[in-house]
Amino acid sequence: MALLNLFGVRRLWPYMIGFALLWYAMLASGIHATISGVLAALTIPLARGEAHSPLKRLEHRIHPWVMLAIVPLFGLASAGVHIDGLGEVLQPLPLAIMAGLFVGKQVGVFGSIWLMVRFGVVEREPSTPWIQLYGAALLTGIGFTMSLFIGALAFPNDPELVDAARLGTIAGSIMAGVSGWALLYFSRPFVVEDDRDEALEIFAGDFTEPADAPRPKAER
């Protein structure tokens, strides 16, 4: 695959064949097969400002499948939680974890940003309105790996409490993810001219805009 890159191969299918062979070799050798994905990504061409680089095309094609299907299914399968009814979610431990992820995270992150800006420690960029900062703060409530790990460490000798902690983690993460996505999706997008020019240089060809398209000015 590195030789394909070196010789300027720009089609994706030769790299996909090489990745499949690499994945099988990794799996058969006993090494975790996910490492093959990291190694394969390092060999697929990506050039700054290139209109249709193979790596960007691949990323855009698999992104919806990864974010909306593979990652959620992996998290749920790894959690191994059995839900018998809504009453289990309303128990004290799951509710406490949900509150920590959904309420505590957004209050801590957004509150810290507001205080830093208020007292002049940092300056908020005009291209980053408060509504988008709050949406990003909501998304910090998504927790799978570390939250599940901490839940297992907190109750090492009580499988029922571990399951309850996992359930609270999943429910709180879903609440934070959906609310953060909705807020950012429905908020008015805002890009200043410098940011737009930089994005056009990096992701040229990924989106187009008419030559006479109006450019928004920074709001202060």
Per this entry, what is the length of the chain?
220
Q: Which domain holds residue 136?
A: 88-189
Angle at which helices 130-139 and 159-186 cross, to 10°: 160
Instruction: Look at residue 97 and tell me if it is in a domain.
Output: yes
- Residue 146 in any domain: the answer is yes
d(CA 101, CA 95): 10
Q: For residue range 8-27, list pLDDT tens digits in order.
A: 888 888 889 999 999 999 88
Give residue 48's pLDDT.
Answer: 67
pTM of the model: 0.56
Residue 115, in any domain of the structure: yes
Structural Rg of the chain based on CA atoms: 22
Residue at 208 is within a domain: no
CA dist 3 and 15 (Å) reads 10
Residue 158 lies in a domain: yes
Domain count, the chain: 1
Q: Residue 140 has what pLDDT?
A: 93
pLDDT above 90 coverage of the chain, percent: 22
Residue 134 lies in a domain: yes
* Residue 155, both tokens: 């109750």
Report yes or no on 154 lying in a domain. yes
Residue 75 belongs to some domain of the structure: no
pLDDT of 198 > 70? The answer is no
Distance CA 107, CA 99 (A): 11
Which tokens hold the place of 54?
């193979």
